[in-house]
Structures are given as C-alpha cells and as structure tokens.
Amino acid sequence: MQIFNLNGKKQFGKSLRSDFLIAEDYTPMNHGSYGTYPVQVRAGFREYQDLAERSIDTWFKRGFYPVIHRAKEKLGELIHCDADELVFVTNTTFGINSIARSLQFAPGDKILMLSTIYDAMGSTLEYLRDSRVDVEIITVDPVYPLSDDDLVNMIEDAILKEESKTGVTGGKIKMALIDAITSVPGVRVPWERIVKLLRDHNILSLIDGAHAIGQIPLNLREADPDFFVTNCHKWLFTVRGSAIIYVPKRNQYMVHPATISSSYRNHPDKNDKSSTFQAEFNWHGTQDHSGYLSVFAALEYREALGGEEKIQEYCYKLARDGGDKVAKILGTEVMENKEKTLTVQMVNVRLPIKAHDGDGHYLDRFIDDGVYKYKCFVPVYKHHGTWYARLSSQIYLDESDFETAGHSLKSICDDLEKERPKGKK
Ligand SMILES: Cc1ncc(COP(=O)(O)O)c(C=O)c1O
C-alpha cells in the first residue's frame, strides 16, 4: 500500500513541521501528553474510514478481521511478540482498567505501585481497593533523580518487608503496576529489571507503557511482563484513540475488556485453552476502528524517515542537548542520574521558582501564559517540593524550539517570583 510520498529525503527538525498540522506560530513542546500525527497518517486513517463506509456490512462481517490481525502482526514485529498476544483498545486508561479490573483479588491481597504513577491509574487502583474485597495498596516513593539500582532496591525492600510480615513469597502482593516511562517526572523506568524482580517473587507485573512504543525499543518476548499496555497515539504517530494491550497466552484466560460484550466467556480453569481474549477485545460494542488501522500509515511514515533507530537517535540527542539549553537559560539543571538513564525523549528541567503553600495556581498560570501568551506550553509539576518542566523532543523540533521554550518558561517564572507575596519562602 503506497499511501504517501515523502518527496525524497527530508531532514529531521523544522523542515518536517510541514508534514504535521501544527499551527505555524505555535512551538509544540508537549508531544508526550496527546501525541500528534502527520498528514500522511491522516490519509491512511481516512482511507480505512472510506473503505468501511462503502460497504459497512462487508467491512464489519468479514473485511475488518483480517486487516486488524495484519495490524497486530506489524506491531508484533516491532515489539517482538505474536499478533495473537495483542489486542487494540482506545487508550492506555481503558487497557489498564481492563486488566486490573479483570483480576480476581482475595481478602488480604496487596497491590504495589510507585508514587509517580499516572493519576488515572492511581484512581483505578483506589477504585479496586474501595469496590472489591479488602485490597491494600503498598506505595514506593522514589525521589528523583535516582539511579536505576536505587529504584530497583527500593522496590525489592518493599517486597521483602511484606514477605517478612506474612512469611509467604511475594508477601501477598498479587500485582504491581509499574510505568515503563513515567509521566511526571518524564523519566525512563528500568521496567525490564523490575519485571524480573516481580517474577522472582511470584508477583504479576502490569506495565503502564503509555509512553513506550515509539519512544524506546521494546522486546516483550525477552522482558516477558505479565501485562503491558502502550499508546500508539503518543510516540508512534497513529491517530488518537489507538493503544495496544499485550497479554502472553498464559495469562489471557484472566483478562476481559472493561466493557463486557457478547463474546464474554468465563475461563475459571487456567488450563482451559479456548481463549476468547481476541474475540472479546475485537468487539466490545460498535466503534470506528480506523484509528487502530492508522498504524499501517504510521509505521510506513516512520520507515520512510529511516526507521525507529534513526528517529530515536535524533530525539534522544535533541532531548539531551535541548534540555541543557533550557537549563542554561533558566540557570538550573536537568533532572538526570549519574548513569544518565532517565532522559529518553522527554527531558525534565528544574524551574527557578520556590515552592510554597500558595503555589497551587502555578499550574493554571503555566497553562494560560504558555498557551495564549507565548504560544508554547510546557507542562510543569512539583516533585517532592521542587518545580520542574517536562519538555518533549520530536522529529519536527530542533534546538531553537527548546530555546523558545526556555525563554517563555523563564518569563513566566520571573513573573511568578515577582508576584510571590512577601514573606513567603
Ligand atoms: C504514564 C501514563 N499512563 C497512562 C496515561 C494515559 O493515557 P491515555 O489518556 O491515552 O489513556 C498517560 C497519559 O499521558 C501516561 O502518561
């Protein structure tokens, strides 16, 4: 399928901006929140919408199934797993909900999470705790910057503590929900090492990889998590509303979509091989699947740019170099550990503002001034009493965009410091 032509070679950086619909006067430094996609992908997406509408019965009764399977095969080649271990869902929130709410918890079971969990996932775990049997949540609280070893050790210590209390392997922790890359701070987590640690302690690993596919290389067969969910609409350039869940065959009997539909079957016996996993997720109510199928055009586009390695190489370097530029403008530093494993395609820079009790309105101020005044929004957050900005790197950006972002952040910080009530430290 030749759906676009990249007009020969294009350079990474500003010259690629014309492939995207981003307004010319806007500096887009927040790819991590919602993603965006090139016009070539929009064309691929609309092609599937048109195909479906031309003969909706043919599409839903017959055409759709082999095409969706081919899309999973393509993704399986990229992240190293079988197509049958993947299902599409609209987003990571739906995917994590489907898995977490499918699992059967017994009274006294525990769930382990990090305090840096994405807020929607934290709410999902709270819902489990409040609505199911008595499930306890154990929270590990990392303070960044932190080495990978330190994070893994903190998690291991928490498990060992529970084991010593209960005298059983895993200390009654049934499942741990861990990010592959956290949202804030936007840092890579050594999730592969954590999966191994959890496995050694008989704990199910549910990995929130919302930011993973397209941002870091993934080999799911090798890492072997129990469950992995990732958004294609963030870093892979598909149309929004497109994510995948990976569940190895051994665990498929446990999982159902958060929306139950006609293909639902209970599989109480884990040796029961008649999995309805694919059927249940392929159809959980009428929807437009074209967003999922935009994955073909997204992969083709990325291939035409030189492939995943080239894209990642450019974006990693830009995040590091751009982050240094922003830190210099702000007179602060990048959040990074000695081993330099935290920064991938998002970089976190400390803001030169003091945290205090009355700084709750700062978030709104960064949104309003960023979006309307400077036309360059950068998400900011407070981590253990220190304010940081998270800047996303991307193929359509170069260092001058980071400089623009650095100057707008500096102006907002200066204004906030001037306005800070006297006496507030
Ligand atoms: C770590 C993490 N998990 C989950 C999500 C939720 O993704 P979605 O809104 O696509 O469900 C996000 C969104 O930014 C995220 O950063």
Residue pLDDT, tens place only, 191-218:
999 999 999 999 999 999 999 999 999 9
pLDDT at 347 exceeding the cut of 90 = yes
Amino acid 425: pLDDT: 56
Which residues belong to CATH 3.40.640.10 in the chain? Answer: 56-297
**Pocket flag, ligand 1, residue 341 (CB < 6 Å):** no
Helices (H), 179-231: 191-200, 220-223
Distance from residue 144's CA to the centre of ligand 1 (Å): 20
pLDDT tens-digit readout, 34-49: 999 999 999 999 999 9
pLDDT of residue 270: 76
CA of 168 from ligand 1 middle (Å) equals: 33
Please report, to the nearest 10 degrees, the dihedral formed by the alpha carbons of residues 345, 346, 349, 355 taken in order. Answer: -170
Q: Which atom of ligand 1 is nearest to the CA of 183?
A: 16
Judged by DSSP in three states, 178 sits in strand
Give me ligand 1 centre to Cα 44, in Å.
24
Helix ranges (DSSP H) in 216-282: 220-223, 232-235, 277-282
Query: pLDDT tens digit string along 380-390?
Result: 999 999 999 99
Q: Which DSSP category does 289 fall into?
A: -
Side chain identity at residue 410, one-letter code = K
Helices (H), 103-206: 119-131, 148-166, 191-200
* DSSP state letters, 15-78: GGGGGB---TT-----HHHH---BHHHHHHHHHHHHHHHHTHHHIIIIIHHHHHHHHHHHHHHH
- 308-419 CATH fold: Aspartate Aminotransferase, domain 1 (3.90.1150)
> CA-to-CA distance for 282 and 410, rounded, in angstroms?
48
Q: 338 falls in which pLDDT band (50, 70, 90)?
A: very high
Using CA atoms, how far apart are residues 281 and 296, in angstroms rounded to an integer? 20
Q: Are 348 and 146 in contact (CB under 8 A)?
A: no
Within a 13 Å sphere around the CA of 120, how many CA atoms are in the beta-carbon half?
11
Helix (H, G, I), strand (E, B) or coil at 177: strand
Considering the chain, tell me which residue range(s) the CATH 3.90.1150.10 domain(s) occupy.
308-419
- CATH among 1.10.3720.10, 3.40.640.10, 3.40.50.920, 3.40.50.300 for 56-297: 3.40.640.10
Amino acid 296: pLDDT: 98
pLDDT band for position 356 (50/70/90)? confident
Q: Which amino acid is at 138?
A: I
**Length of the chain as a residue count:** 425
What does the pLDDT read at residue 7? Answer: 52
Query: Could you tell me the pLDDT band of residue 423, with boundaries at 50, 70 and 90?
Result: low
Provide the pLDDT for residue 80: 98
- Using an 8 Å Cβ cutoff, are 208 and 226 in contact? no
DSSP state of 255: -
**Residues paired with residue 387 on neighbouring β-strands, in sequence order:** 382
Task: Phi first, then psi: give them for residue 135, nearest 5 degrees.
Answer: -105, 135
Global pTM exceeds 0.75:
yes
Q: How far apart are CA 29 and CA 49, in angstroms?
A: 30
Tell me the percentage of the chain whose pLDDT exceeds 70. Answer: 96
In the block, tokens 């996932």 appear at: 121
Buried b (16+ CB within 10 A) or exposed e, 372-384: eebebbbbbbbbe
What is the whole-number distance in angstroms between the Cα of residue 222 and the centre of ligand 1? Answer: 24
For ligand 1, whether the C-beta of 290 sits within 6 Å is no
Name the percent of the chain lying above pLDDT 90. 90
pLDDT at residue 3, as a whole number: 36
Cβ contact 313:326 at 8 Å: no
Q: Token digits for 259?
A: 């929306």
What are the beta bridge partners of residue 176?
112, 205
The reported pLDDT for the residue numbered 241 is 97
Distance 293 CA to ligand 1 centre (A): 20
**Residue nearest (by alpha carbon) to ligand 1 atom 14:** 33
Q: How many CB atoms lie within 10 A of CB 271?
A: 6
pLDDT at 339: 98
Taking CA atoms only, the protein residue closest to ligand 1 atom 7 is 92
Q: Compute the distance from residue 228 Cα to the ligand 1 centre, in Å.
A: 13
Amino acid at 112: L
Hey, which of 97, 115, 181, 211 would you mutate to test ligand 1's pocket, going by the most ligand atoms within 8 Å of its Cβ? 211
The closest alpha carbon to 76, from 208, 247, 235, belongs to: 247
Distance (Å) of CA 299 to CA 140, 292, 302, 305: 37, 12, 5, 10
Question: Quick one: which atom of ligand 1 is closest to the CA of 34?
Answer: 14
Rounded to the nearest 5°, which phi and psi values hold at 166?
Answer: -105, -20
* pLDDT tens readout for residues 73-125: 999 999 999 999 999 999 999 999 999 999 999 999 999 999 999 999 999 99
The amino acid present at 329, given as its one-letter code, is I
Q: How confident is the model at residue 1 (pLDDT cuts 50, 70, 90)?
A: very low
pLDDT at 243: 98
Residue 304 has pLDDT above 90, yes or no: yes
Whole-number Å distance between alpha carbons of 226 and 51: 36
What is the average per-residue pLDDT within 259-267? 92
What is the predicted pLDDT for the residue at 286? 93
C-beta neighbour count of 300 within 10 angstroms: 19
Report cis status (omega within 30 of 0) of the bond before 217.
Answer: no
Measured CA to CA, the distance from residue 326 to residue 333 in angstroms comes to: 8
